[in-house]
Amino acid sequence: MSNRHMARAIELSIENVSSGRGGPFAAVVVKDGQIIAEGTNQVTSLNDPTAHAEIVAIREACRALKNFQLTGCEIYTTCEPCPMCIGAIYWARPACVYFAATAADAAQYGFDDSFIPEELSRPLGDRKIPMTQIMREEALVAFPLWEQKPDKVKY
């Protein structure tokens, strides 16, 4: 199946490598048949480890729509999203996602994210980045404050 929105994303991924902006990844967000945002990987050029193509495109699309949800939108990404981007996609709630290359394809070129779910299956203290719990009781204060706030914007 060929698709012009994915073709555009692939074009952007190639340009992103040629221009030296970042890795070989791009994504576009489509609403009502029109591209409303484009994103490419800019981790190294922006010094932002979260600047994966999907995150950049989601943030840009939300800015365009003035909304923190991508209701009814489609995301086209040149590669299967990493765990961070999958999380971002679920928070943005688009209607669906199309991807082209697989995570395994990307891993062959040094972009391997399979260690992240592996890490998460380990106990907190046994991970490569250890996670330690402290001060739970003190932190709980913020939650009832949120619950009782009459003008809160839920998300």
Contacts of 116 (CB under 8 A, 6+ apart): 82, 83
Q: How far apart are CB 79 and a second copy at their closest, in Å?
A: 7
Q: Does 7 bind a second copy (CB under 8 A)?
A: yes
Active-site choice (54, 80, 137, 147) = 54
Binding mask 8-27 for a second copy (x = CB under 8 A): -xx--xx-xxx-x-xxxx--
Q: What tokens appear for 44 in the block?
A: 């190294």
Q: Is 54 a catalytic residue?
A: yes
Q: Does 35 bind a second copy (CB under 8 A)?
A: no
Phi, psi of 3 (to 5 degrees): -150, 130
DSSP annotation of 107 reads H
91/94 Cα distance (integer angstroms): 9
Binding mask 59-98 for a second copy (x = CB under 8 A): x--xx-xxxxxx-------xxx-xxxxxxxxxxxxxxxxx
Q: How far apart are CB 22 and a second copy at their closest, in Å?
A: 8
- Interacting residues with a second copy between 98 and 127 (CB under 8 A): 98-102, 105-106, 108-110, 113, 115-117, 119-120
21/81 Cα distance (integer angstroms): 19
Count, residues in the chain: 155
87/107 Cα distance (integer angstroms): 20
Q: What tokens appear for 37 in the block?
A: 């945002």
**Minimum CB distance to a second copy smaller for 33 or for 149:** 149
Q: Does 145 bind a second copy (CB under 8 A)?
A: yes
Q: Does 139 bind a second copy (CB under 8 A)?
A: yes
Number of residues that bind a second copy (CB under 8 A): 95
3-class secondary-structure state, position 40: strand
Q: How far apart are CB 32 and a second copy at their closest, in Å?
A: 18
* Residue 38 parent element (H or E): strand 34-40
Residues known to be catalytic: 54
